[in-house]
Structure 1
Amino acid sequence: MADGAAPSGRGLLVVLPAWNEEEALPGVLAELRAAMPEADVAVVSDGSVDRTADVARAAGVRVLELPFNMGVGGAMRAGYAYAARKGYARVVQLDADGQHDPTEIGALVATAEATGADLVIGARFAGKGDYEVRGPRKWAMKLLSSVLSRVTRTTLTDTTSGFKLAGPRAIELFARDYPAEYLGDTVEALVLAARHGLVVRQAAVEMRPRAGGTPSHNPAKAALFLMRALVALFVALTRPRAAGAEATQDQEAGR
């Protein structure tokens, strides 16, 4: 179900998947409005049981409510479907917990315009900021980045980043087929994009600690993250390649 402000244009839509984020969401929306006043905004309340949807409505943005929690992948599929239906040219995924700095959206847009990329990943480990991870999570991220850089034929340093920009071809693809499983919205989405011949690039961004709510992970779950990340990568790589995608990638590589 959708309500709130009607789209003012068909350029950039910022989608915020949100599960019980009433605490952080007002500040994030205020920052977003200040940084990107020209962008339309949609909050996907992912089965929230707090006031997430009410807070978003009070801010005057579009609200998409899911009846139960589907995870980031399911929430973003709803966001992409909405964007495709309304004809938006670009979608930016922004966390509702304050970790993604709205002022960095410009870096994603600039990279898309400069490179013609269909999908731009906001990378924490590309020389900007001091965001750090340690232990098994760091090892998993390095392994994922190494493998997925080969798959996408570009250098990627942060393949689990949820801060990303999708262009028209990516919106069309993700609106009909977006992974909803654990890490599917990051790892498997990158493989899916590559298998369909989309051009993937990254932009260096700075990220912050979450502004409120409950974190998805904690140090005690680091080893589990490693195992699940490897499973997610295996599942992603077993997906069939779309017909013609390899030829498209070869053409892009030869530019």
Structure 2
Amino acid sequence: MRVLIAIPARNEEKSLPRVISEIKKEFKEGDILVVDDGSTDETAEVAKKAGASVLSLPFNLGIAGARETGFLYALENGYDLVVQMDADGQHDPKYIRSLVEPVVKNEVDAVIGSRFLNSKFNHQTSKPRYLGISLLSFILTILTGRKITDPTSGFSAYNKRVIKFLTLNYPSDYPEPEIPLLLNRGGFRFKEIPIEVRQRQAGKSSISYKHALYYLGKVLLGILVTCIRKIRNPKREIRNNI
């Protein structure tokens, strides 16, 4: 089974070398793709030097566009499974195997890493952000009929059926909170596993209080749209194109 580890990155030249090195150590079986999302620093160059393949977008598409680019690359290059993770070093590559194994064993179609599933990990976040995550968790738990503990996790693994589905239905703005809802509507099997995240290896988060409120509003609107819009089926798309 061919596994692609897709890493959206924007101006992460300082953290990427270590991230890529750790991935190679923890999960030698996977190929690494860095999607350079319109960086203005040496992100693409340091990623190539560290041994990753690089796709450089002509301008900043945002996290949704960068993640979808990774999925499209996987489909076009015959990968069976995609792991999505961040470039800032907060996602520990030691969890890649734990994300991948349930998918490889066909226990589920997708696995999402949760910072809040294991209370021992004691993930620290700001109060406004935690309240926003708790609200999204509550809403998604009601909408999907299953407990969703970490609706903003970007550390996840998907099989080829899910990859095809998501390329047809991918959210256009902030994708992570809508993914469990899309998977549920698509009839896919998925689960969360506990992960512990680390501090950023370089740089700082771009999320301010004002941005957090804006983000929450956009996400709630996106969830509403996902609830009511028509879901495109990959098999139906293929039949219609024959």
TM-score range, shorter chain: 0.7 to 0.9
Aligned pair in 2 of structure 1 residues 226, 136: CA closer, same or farther (>3 Å)?
Answer: farther
Give the letter for the 1:168 counterpart. Answer: K
Aligned pair in 2 of structure 1 residues 70, 242: CA closer, same or farther (>3 Å)?
Answer: closer
Contact 2:171 2:222 in 1 (8 A): no
Alpha-carbon separation, structure 1, partners of 2:155 and 2:40: 24
Aligned pair in 2 of structure 1 residues 95, 103: CA closer, same or farther (>3 Å)?
Answer: same
Contact 1:20 1:48 in 2 (8 A): yes
TM-score by length of 1: 0.84
2:160 aligned residue (168, 174, 186): 168
Question: Which is further off, 218-227 or 59-68?
Answer: 218-227
In the TM superposition, what is the alpha-carbon distance from 1:174 to its structure 2 partner?
2.1
Structure 2 residue aligned with 1:230:
220
Structure 1 residue aligned with 2:129:
137
Give the letter for the 1:186 counterpart. Answer: E
In the TM superposition, what is the alpha-carbon distance from 1:115 to its structure 2 partner?
6.5
Question: Which is further off, 18-27 or 214-223?
Answer: 214-223
Q: Over aligned residue pairs, what C-alpha RMSD do you find?
A: 2.0
Contact 2:168 2:232 in 1 (8 A): no
Contact 1:187 1:236 in 2 (8 A): no
1:155 aligned residue (137, 141, 147): 147
Alpha-carbon separation, structure 2, partners of 1:18 and 1:178: 18
Give the letter for the 1:82 counterpart. Answer: Y
Alpha-carbon separation, structure 1, partners of 2:124 and 2:210: 17
Alpha-carbon separation, structure 2, partners of 1:29 and 1:11: 18
Moved over 4 A (4+): none
In the TM superposition, what is the alpha-carbon distance from 1:125 to its structure 2 partner?
0.3
Alpha-carbon separation, structure 2, partners of 1:125 and 1:205: 8
Aligned pair in 2 of structure 1 residues 157, 11: CA closer, same or farther (>3 Å)?
Answer: same
Give the letter for the 2:147 counterpart. Answer: T
1:207 aligned residue (197, 212, 227): 197
Contact 2:71 2:82 in 1 (8 A): yes
Structure 2: segments with no counterpart, 5+ residues? 234-242
Matches within 5 A, 1:44-63: 44-63=35-54
Contact 2:169 2:232 in 1 (8 A): no
Give the letter for the 1:189 counterpart. Answer: I
1:191 aligns with 2:174: no
In the TM superposition, what is the alpha-carbon distance from 1:241 to its structure 2 partner?
4.5
In the TM superposition, what is the alpha-carbon distance from 1:85 to its structure 2 partner?
1.2
DSSP 3-state at the match of 2:157: strand
Contact 1:107 1:205 in 2 (8 A): no
1:21 aligned residue (12, 34, 45): 12
Alpha-carbon separation, structure 2, partners of 1:30 and 1:167: 24
Structure 2 residue aligned with 1:179:
171
1:31 aligns with 2:22: yes
Alpha-carbon separation, structure 2, partners of 1:60 and 1:142: 38
DSSP 3-state at the match of 2:121: coil
Q: Percent identity?
A: 39
TM-score by length of 2: 0.88
